[in-house]
Amino acid sequence: MFKVPDHQVAGHVAGVGKLGPLVDDSGRFYKPLQDGKRGTEEVSFYESFTSNTKIPENIRKFFPIFYGTKIMKASTGTEHPHIVLQDLVSSRVSPSVMDIKIGSRTWAPEATEAYITKCLKKDRESTSVSVGYRLSGLRVFINDESGFYKPERDIMRKAGPDDVKLFLMKFVSSNPESEPDCSLAGSVYGGLNGILSQLLELKAWFEDQTMYHFYACSLLFMFEKGSALKGATTNAQVKLIDFAHVTEGKGVIDHNFLGGLCSLIKFISDIIPDKNHHENGQIEPQTAD
Residues 26 and 141 in one domain: no
Categorize the per-residue pLDDT at 286 as very low, low, confident or very high, splitting at 50, 70 and 90.
very low
Q: Residue 104: count other Cβ atoms within 10 Å of its Cβ.
A: 20
Among the listed residues 276, 258, 268, the one whose alpha carbon sits nearest the alpha carbon of residue 202: 258
Q: What is the pTM of this model?
A: 0.87
Residues 181 and 114 in one domain: yes
- How many domains is the chain partitioned into structurally? 2
Find the domain containing 69 and state its range.
22-86
Categorize the per-residue pLDDT at 8 as very low, low, confident or very high, splitting at 50, 70 and 90.
low
Query: For residues 248 and 110, what is the distance between their CA atoms, to the nearest angstrom?
Result: 11
Query: For residues 192 and 12, what is the distance between their CA atoms, to the nearest angstrom?
Result: 34
Q: Which residue(s) pair with 244 in the sheet? A: none
pLDDT in tens, 47-94: 999 999 999 999 999 999 999 999 988 877 788 888 999 988 878 788
Query: For residues 147 and 96, what is the distance between their CA atoms, to the nearest angstrom?
Result: 11
Q: How far is CA 22 from CA 9, 52, 106, 281, in A?
A: 14, 28, 25, 40
pLDDT at 92: 78
Q: Which residue(s) pair with 72 in the sheet? A: 80
Residues 82 and 193 in one domain: no
Residues 136 and 201 in one domain: yes
Please tell me what DSSP assigns to residue 15: B
Asked, for residue 285, whether it belongs to a domain, the answer is no
Residues 116 and 217 in one domain: yes
The predicted model gives 196-215 an average pLDDT of: 96
pLDDT over 70 at 280, yes or no: no
Asked, for residue 9, whether it belongs to a domain, the answer is no
The predicted model gives 122-139 an average pLDDT of: 90
Residue 243 is part of a domain; what is its CATH number? 3.30.470.160
Categorize the per-residue pLDDT at 110 as very low, low, confident or very high, splitting at 50, 70 and 90.
confident
Residues contacting 286, CB < 8 A, separation 6+: 192, 193, 197, 198, 201
Of 59, 86, 113, which residue is a domain's last? 86
Residues contacting 246, CB < 8 A, separation 6+: 41, 42, 45, 108, 212, 213, 214, 215, 217
pLDDT in tens, 156-180: 878 888 999 999 999 999 888 889 9
Asked, for residue 196, whether it belongs to a domain, the answer is yes
Asked, for residue 39, whether it belongs to a domain, the answer is yes
pLDDT in tens, 12-56: 555 556 778 888 888 889 888 887 777 788 999 999 999 999 999
Among the listed residues 204, 235, 206, the one whose alpha carbon sits nearest the alpha carbon of residue 222: 235
Asked, for residue 15, whether it belongs to a domain, the answer is no
Asked, for residue 141, whether it belongs to a domain, the answer is yes
pLDDT at 16: 59
Q: Residue 241: count other Cβ atoms within 10 Å of its Cβ.
A: 18
Categorize the per-residue pLDDT at 289 as very low, low, confident or very high, splitting at 50, 70 and 90.
very low
